[in-house]
Structure 1
């Protein structure tokens, strides 16, 4: 059920044998994202449960889900970019059906993130699923 953009990340990870290289790759994905406008960094877009500051701004158009996001931590920006690859341009009704933990496990993220980062990642996924479920 993963998008082509996410599958490309999975393929890239297969070539990166060392976790430090994968970690750098995730950070580079975050650096490549456009920053979220300051006007969108408001309490309504802030994700609770993250150690760092995280904002997710969803937008749904013609039944297609997309979101932008930002964080004050580089690795978290990268995780947002990975989630964008997983969810962006998906039909809104399909978003809650994505088994995000299983998809992310393909990248080995579960084994290499701190407990706080893992909790934050779960909080971001839950926010995405909630927004999509409410919009269906």
Structure 2
């Protein structure tokens, strides 16, 4: 499966980082680029369970491909969401079901820096995406 253009950009950007501090700054910058969800979208129905931080997720399907928007109350989590969205937006439901989340964060050089609770939270976000794609 080929990478969406934004995912390729993320991969190149993170590959250029020499250390965790640079990756963390880049994550914060990616998070700052996330479009804000409005108050109506930040509701209980869109809250992802299984995350320590609050994460809201909305989805829509366009021409058989999924587009997600997400928001968090934590800056670093927003960055992680941004690079996750870069990887998943534009995928079909089948492609979304096959996504290897640990491999993606490993490719970005972020996997070893994710705490177990953050990894579990990101897995919960992906599982919610997959549920939404199944209908």
The alignment's TM-score, normalised by the length of structure 2, stands at 0.92
CA distance in 1, matches of 2:119, 2:100: 15
Match of 1:60 in 2: 61
Match of 1:69 in 2: 70
Q: Is it true that 1:29 corresponds to 2:11 in the alignment? A: no
Match of 1:49 in 2: 50
Match of 1:8 in 2: 9
Match of 1:114 in 2: 115
CA distance in 2, matches of 1:21, 1:41: 30
**For the Cα contact (< 8 Å) 2:37–2:71, is it kept in 1?**
yes
Match of 1:17 in 2: 18
Q: Secondary structure at the match of 1:69?
A: strand
1:92, distance to aligned residue in structure 2 (A)? 2.8
Match of 2:83 in 1: 82
Match of 1:91 in 2: 92
Unaligned runs of 5+ in 1: none
How many residues matched?
134
1:3, distance to aligned residue in structure 2 (A)? 1.7
1:30, distance to aligned residue in structure 2 (A)? 0.8
Question: What are the superposed Cα offsets for residues 65-100 of structure 1, whole Å, 9 maximum, x if unpaired?
Answer: 001010000011111111110011122332112222
**For the Cα contact (< 8 Å) 1:60–1:92, is it kept in 2?**
no
Unaligned runs of 5+ in 2: none
CA distance in 1, matches of 2:59, 2:45: 11
1:108, distance to aligned residue in structure 2 (A)? 2.3
Match of 1:124 in 2: 125
